[in-house]
């Protein structure tokens, strides 16, 4: 698969894929004899994983760290796990925060729907 096909498949742009490779967010992609990137299934697996993590707000830097350790082999397994645990916790905390904002927004929308006249601070805004 060339870069355009991969980009279309995963809903990214070729520029983003090159950027990801440049900063080490995905391993270096092999080139054809003409110098064009040829993505393997393994590469696509990484892209899928990275896309999933980025969509959840995991920072590029954390993922770069993970990829780097992964390439260093089995000995880095426990550090890698620590990174995953740390990011998992971050995401869980973020979900909790967003859930409470969601509740607050729903309450506010309800008041808009019931045409409640704002009378005190909590209802005002």
Partner DNA sequence: ATAGTACTTGGAGTTAACTCCAAGTCAAGA
Partner DNA sequence: TCTTGACTTGGAGTTAACTCCAAGTACTAT
Please calculate the CA angle 24-47-28 and round it to the nearest 5 degrees. 35
Residue 38 beta carbon to DNA: minimum distance, rounded to whole angstroms: 8
For the chain, the 3-state helix, strand and coil shares in percent, each to the nearest 5, are 70, 0, 25
With respect to a copy of itself, which residue has the nearer C-beta, 23 or 96? Answer: 96
With respect to a copy of itself, which residue has the nearer C-beta, 3 or 50? Answer: 50
Instruction: Show contacts with DNA in window 42-101 (CB under 7 A).
Output: 54, 59-61
Q: In this structure, are residues 15 and 50 in contact, taking their beta carbons and an 8 Å threshold?
A: no
Binding mask 20-39 for DNA (x = CB under 7 A): --x--------xxxxxxx--
CA 72 to chain centre: 22
Of DNA, a copy of itself, none, which one sits near residue 31, judging by CB under 5 to 8 A according to partner kind?
DNA
As a whole number of angstroms, the distance between CA 39 and CA 47 comes to 10
**Residues interacting with DNA, by CB under 7 A?**
2-5, 13-16, 18-19, 22, 31-37, 54, 59-61
């Amino acid at each position: 698969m060339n870069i355009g096909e991969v980009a279309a498949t995963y809903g990214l742009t070729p520029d983003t894929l090159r950027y990801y490779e440049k900063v080490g967010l995905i391993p270096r992609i092999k080139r054809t004899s003409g110098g064009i990137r040829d993505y393997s299934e393994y590469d696509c697996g990484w892209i899928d994983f990275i896309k999933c993590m980025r969509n959840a707000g995991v920072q590029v830097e954390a993922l770069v760290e993970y990829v780097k350790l992964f390439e260093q082999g089995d000995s880095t397994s426990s550090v890698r796990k620590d990174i995953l645990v740390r990011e998992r916790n971050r995401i869980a905390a973020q979900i909790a925060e967003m859930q409470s904002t969601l509740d607050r927004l729903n309450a506010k929308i309800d008041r808009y729907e019931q045409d409640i006249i704002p009378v005190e601070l909590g209802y005002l805004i």
